[in-house]
Amino acid sequence: MADNPISDSLGEWITRLRAAGELHEVTAEVSSDLEITEITDRVTKENGPALLFTNVTGSNFPVLTNQFASDRRLGLAFGVDHVDEVAGRIEALFQLAQPARGIGDKLKVLGKLKKLATSVPPKYVKKAPVQEVVHTGDHVDLDQLPILRCWPEDGGNYVTLPLVFTKDPKTGMRNVGMYRVQQHDKNTCGVHWQIHKDGADDWRNMPASGRLEVAVVVGSDPIITYSASCPLPKDIDEMLFAGFARGRSVEMVQCKTVDLQVPAHAEFVLEGYIAQGELRREGPFGDHTGYYSLADDYPVLHVTAITHRTDATWSATIVGVPDHEDKWIGYATERIFLPLLQTVQHEIVDYALPSEGVFHSCCIVSIRKRFPAHAKKAMHAIWGTALLSLTKTVIIVDEDVDVHDYAAVAARVRETWNPGRDTILSEGPIDVLDHATTLIGMGGKLGIDGTIKWASEGRDASAEAAASRAEVVDQEAFARFAREHDVSNHRLVAEAGVAIVSIDKTRAFQGRELLEALRDDAAASTGLKVVVVVDAYIDVDDLHEVAFRAFGNTDPVRDAVLPDGPGGAIGLDATIKLASEGYTRDWPSDIVMTEAIKQRVDERWSEYGIPTTGARTKPHRGLADGERRIKPTDTARGADGLGNADMARDGVSTAARG
C-alpha cells in the first residue's frame, strides 16, 4: 500500500490534490449556468486535472469538479497505489456478515468484531466545522449556493454530488445514498429517488400522516462521498463502510432542525423534511446515460436549515455522454466490490462494466467453467444479484480472457460464440433511466456465452474455433448489400466479425427489415457475428459511440434479430424507436451543449489557464428540439408510411417531455 494519508475533509483533500499536481485553480470569473459544465467536460475528456473554480458568478463559494476522474486520483483518495487494494479491506468487512460455521470461525469473527467496534463505527461529537454558519427560517436561501445548471434542457439547477441521509421509519436504520437533487426555489428541492434505491424504500415506509426527515450533505472527504454511491446491502451503514475504508471513524454531529446525524467535517448540509403525498415535477436532467432523463413527479424537500463551514467549498460532478467522472466512480465500485461478488458467485474470476454501457447496459464476466452450461448459470446469477440484476447485456468468457481488454474479449467471442445456439434472450428489471424499454423499469436482456464449448455440451471446440477463424468476411458482398438497401454508411470490423450500418430512417421497422434482409443474404453475412444498425447521424467509424448506441438504444427482446438456426449473426436495431413501432414513451434528446456556451468557452480558454488543449469534445448531434424523425414526404398511411397521428407522437418537443 502506498504511504498516502487519508483526508478528513474536503479542504484536506484539495490540499493533497494541489500538492500532487492533480488540481488546477480557475481564478477567472465563471458561471454556474452551463459554463462550468462545458469547461469540465472538455478537461475530463482530455484526462485533465481536478478543477477548483474560485470565482463563481453570484456566489461566495468555490466549486470543485472532476476530483475522482483518474486512476491516480482514485488511489490518492483511498490512500493506496491502486483502488484494487481497497478490495481487501472491504472483503474483511463483508466476511463479518457471513455466518460462522464452527467455534474457530466464531472466535475469529468475535476478534474482528471487537476491532471493528473500537476503530471504525461513527463517532459522535457536539461541535462541528459544518455548523460554523447556520441559516434557518427566512434566512434559508438556496440561491446563495453555486448549484449548477449542467445542460441546456435541464429542468433547473441540480446538486449533482449529494449525500442524502435518511432513516428507515420502521427500523430507524440510517441510509446514505447519492440521488440528484433539483432546486425548485429558495427553500424547496426535488429528490430523485429511483424505485430500486434504499432511499425510496425509506420514503415508501413513511407513515401515512407523517414526514420523512432528510439531510443533504455536499462536500466531504472523498471516501465519505464515494460511500454514498456504493451499492451496499441495506443492513450495512454507509458511514461504517466509510470508516472501514478510511481506517478510522467518521465523526458525526446532530443536525440543527432534524433528527439526523451528518459528517462533522462536511462543507454544507441542507436539512429538511418531505411531507407525505407531496410531489412536484422534477427534470429533465442530462444524465450519465448520455440522454436527458425525462421529467416526472418526485418528492419535495422543504429545507429548514442550511449549515456550512465559514470557508466552504461546493462539490459537483458533471455527467453526460460518456466518458465523464462517473466512469471512474463506477470503476472504483467495480474493483472494490469484486470480492463481494465472488463471495456470492464463486465461479467469477473478474468482471468489467464498460463505460459505453453506462454501468447497467453491459457486464463482461470471466468464470472458472466447471460444468456444461455453466456460462448460462452465470448469466442468470448476474441477473439475480443486487443492482447487477438491472444489467441488460451479459457476456461470459473463460477465466484466461482479460475482461478489461475488449479486443481480446471480441476475439474470443468470435471464435467460440455461435449466435444461433449460444444466445439467451430474457426479460427482467431494467434501470429506470433506460429509455429504450417500452415499459419503464422492465425490459429485454441479452446473454452471450463466449466460453469454449465442451464435448459434454455436444460441441467440438477445436473444430468450431478453426472454422470460425477460417470464415472470412466477404467485404465485396457486404458492400453490394449496402448499395442495394440504401445504407447511408457502413463499416466492417472484420477481426471481430462485426458490421455497422447507418440508415436514414423514414419508416417504421426499417432497421429490423434491413437486418432480416441481411440474414437472408448468405454471401453478405458470411463471417459476421454481430450487425448493428444505427441512425444516419451516428459516425460508424467511432466504435465507442456505436457501442454506446447499441447498448443504450436497444431492448434485446424487441430489437434483436436472431439467426434462423445455428450459426449466422445476431442483428441489433439501435435506431431511434417510433410510436408506430409500439414505442409508447417519449424518446429523450441527446445531451448537446449550446453553441453560444461552446463559443464562450473557446474564446475564454486562455483565461482559465487550464493545462489542456481545450478542444471541443466530439459533437453528438442528436435530434434537435422539435425535429421530426420522419420526412414530411412519408406521412401517407401505407405499408411503408406513417399516418399523421404517428407523426405527431414521433416528434420531439420540450412540451412532450414535460
Q: What is the pLDDT of residue 627?
A: 40
| Burial class of residue 552 in the structure, from the number of CB atoms within 10 Å of its CB (0-12 exposed, 13-18 middle, 19+ buried) | buried
- The cell for 622 is 442528436
3-state secondary structure 534-593: EECCCCCCCHHHHHHHHHHCCCHHHHEECCCCCCCCEEEECCCCCHHHCCCCCCCCECCC
Q: Letter for the amino acid at 27? A: T
Amino acid identity, residue 459? R
* Residue 61, Cβ density class (10 Å: 0-12 exposed, 13-18 middle, ≥19 buried): buried
Contact 245, 5 (CB under 8 A): no
Q: Which amino acid is at 138?
A: D
The residue behind cell 476530483 is 67
- Residue 650 annotated as catalytic: no
- Which among 221, 237, 287, 573 is annotated as catalytic? 287
How many other CB atoms sit within 10 Å of the CB of residue 547?
Answer: 22
Segments in the chain below pLDDT 70: 1-4, 92-119, 196, 461, 463, 465-470, 619-658
Tell me if the pTM is above 0.85.
Answer: yes
Beta bridge partners of 423: 448
The C-alpha atoms of residue 416 and residue 419 are separated, in whole angstroms, by 10
Domains of the chain, CATH where assigned: 10-82+120-315 (2.30.110.10), 334-465 (3.40.1670.10), 473-581 (3.40.1670.10), 595-657 (no CATH)
What are 75-124's pLDDT values in tens digits? 999 998 888 888 877 776 666 555 555 555 545 544 554 455 455 889 99
For residue 3, the model assigns a pLDDT of: 52
CA 312 centroid distance within chain = 28
Residue 656's pLDDT is what? 27
Instruction: From residue 563, give the alpha-carbon distance in Å to each of 63, 225, 492, 551, 646.
Output: 53, 47, 19, 20, 31
Q: What is the pLDDT at residue 491?
A: 95
Report the distance separating Cα 565 and Cα 608, nearest Å.
59
